């Protein structure tokens, strides 16, 4: 008999109760295995029938039972839940980037502009996960990131001109958007932290903006150069004035020094003149006193006896003596001369006493 025929006969000869008992054991095993292994597949977690599920790193697990959010928050790793009754979702609690594309807005002047994309880096704090999801659901970032970005951009454009939005205040848009988003999140959804915002414009507008910025930079550079030139000219002027003032001060000091020297010389000459005058006056007074004293002394000497003595001495000193009949007369005449001089001296004394 052939092998295929033998297997067919054996199968036909097996009792039906044995086959049903095998199926009863295998089917529950397959069901449990499927419920455990299904979370490892990329199917939806919320509709999973599994007992075992995995929370990835950087996320926390949140759960709904009968549509109601549970306060249970699980950490990364494997966890168990009730199938059919409890649904599970992972929520990211690390930094993530929400990108809002093609934002159209109108400026104050009626010009329609487009922001190519706005990237918002944000994070949901772990301790605020339950409160945030309870108020705003799993798509909380749509309310406070996507929709809020559109609203803030429209407000910004409507209150500014095209020049202000794309040129004058463009470098401030990132910070303004970040502050505006954070203010509302802090007030209504405190668990959301806005870390940074980056605004990107269309390439064509960006090129125009860069060209305008280049022109603006050139203008600013020219203005700064002009300011530098003005400062240099002003500095040179101040230096020239300072140098002139310094020279003038030096000249003034030298002139004052010369004047002081002249004044010193003049005073010195005056002092020398005064000293000379005083000395000459002293000499004159001394000479006058000497002459006066000599005159007084001579006046006192002019007595008849002194004159007669001098006459006799003069006669005695004469080496030549003539004798004749006129000698007595000569002597007599000399005596008469002495008497005459005596009378003259007496009259002079009387005159002086009368004057006194």
| Residue 231 located in a structural domain | no
Residue 292 lies in a domain: no
Instruction: Show which of 45, 62, 91 is a domain's final residue.
Output: 91
Q: State which H helix or E strand residue 92 sits in.
A: strand 86-92
Query: Which of 62, 91, 120 is at the close of a domain?
Result: 91
Minimal CA–CA distance to 113: which of 212, 208, 211? 208
Residue 289 domain-assigned (yes or no): no
What 3-state class would DSSP assign to 265?
helix
Residues 101 and 174 in one domain: yes
What does pTM read for this prediction? 0.47
Same domain as 60, residue 109: no
Residue 153 lies in a domain: yes
Model pLDDT, residue 347: 65
Q: Which domain holds residue 8?
A: 3-91
| pLDDT digit string, tens, across residues 197-206 | 998 876 666 5
| Integer Cα distance of 52 and 60 in angstroms | 15
More confident residue, 309 or 342: 309
Residues 84 and 107 occupy one common structural domain: no
Tokens of 291: 């002459």
Rg (CA), the chain: 70
Beta bridge partners of residue 124, listed in sequence order: 192
Helix (H) or strand (E) segment spanning residue 70: strand 68-74
The average pLDDT across 39-43 equals 41
Confidence of residue 335 (pLDDT cuts 50, 70, 90): low
Quickly list H helices, 302-326. Answer: 304-317
Identify whether 154 is part of a domain: yes
Query: For residue range 49-73, what is the model confidence (pLDDT) as tens digits?
Result: 678 889 999 999 999 998 899 999 9
DSSP category for residue 126: G
Residue 256 within any structural domain of the chain? no
Q: Do 103 and 197 share a domain, yes or no?
A: yes
| Residues contacting residue 186 through CB under 8 Å, at least 6 positions apart | none
Total number of domains constituting the chain? 3
Do residues 197 and 112 both lie within one domain?
yes
Q: Is residue 241 part of a domain?
A: no
Q: Look at residue 190 in the predicted model and tell me its pLDDT.
A: 92
> Residue 338: in which H helix or E strand, if any?
helix 327-355
Classify residue 149: in a domain, yes or no: yes
Q: Above 70 in pLDDT, residue 214? A: yes
Give the pLDDT band of residue 9 (cuts 50, 70, 90). Answer: very low
């Amino acid at each position: 008999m052939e092998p295929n025929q033998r297997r067919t006969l054996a199968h036909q000869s097996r009792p039906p109760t044995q086959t049903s008992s095998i199926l009863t054991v295998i089917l529950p095993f397959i069901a449990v295995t499927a419920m455990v292994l299904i979370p490892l597949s990329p199917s939806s977690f919320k509709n999973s029938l599994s007992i075992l599920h995995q929370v990835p790193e950087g996320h926390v697990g949140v759960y709904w039972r009968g549509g109601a959010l549970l306060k249970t928050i699980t950490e990364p790793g494997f966890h168990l839940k009730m199938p059919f009754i409890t649904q599970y979702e992972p929520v990211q609690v690390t930094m993530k980037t929400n990108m809002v594309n093609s934002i159209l807005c109108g400026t104050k002047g009626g010009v329609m502009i487009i922001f190519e994309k706005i990237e918002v880096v944000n994070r949901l704090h772990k301790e605020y996960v339950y409160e945030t999801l309870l108020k705003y659901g799993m798509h909380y970032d749509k309310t406070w990131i996507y929709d809020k970005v559109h609203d803030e951009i429209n407000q910004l454009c409507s209150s500014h001109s095209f020049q202000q939005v794309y040129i004058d205040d463009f470098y401030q848009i990132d910070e303004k958007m970040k502050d505006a988003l954070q203010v509302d999140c802090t007030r209504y959804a405190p668990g959301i932290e806005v870390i940074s915002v980056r605004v990107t414009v269309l390439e064509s507008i960006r090129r125009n903006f860069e060209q305008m910025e280049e022109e603006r930079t050139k203008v600013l550079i020219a203005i700064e150069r002009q300011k530098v030139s003005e400062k240099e000219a002003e500095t040179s002027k101040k230096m020239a004035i300072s140098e002139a003032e310094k020279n003038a001060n030096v000249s003034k000091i030298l002139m004052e020094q010369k004047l002081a020297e002249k004044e010193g010389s003049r005073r010195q000459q005056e002092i020398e003149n005064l000293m000379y005058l005083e000395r000459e006056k002293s000499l004159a007074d001394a000479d006058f006193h000497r002459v006066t004293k000599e005159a007084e002394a001579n006046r006192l000497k002019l007595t008849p006896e002194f004159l007669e003595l001098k006459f006799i001495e003069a006669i005695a000193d004469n080496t030549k003596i003539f004798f004749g009949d006129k000698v007595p007369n000569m002597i007599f005449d000399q005596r008469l001369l002495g008497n005459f001089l005596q009378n003259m001296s007496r009259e002079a004394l009387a005159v002086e006493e009368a004057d006194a």
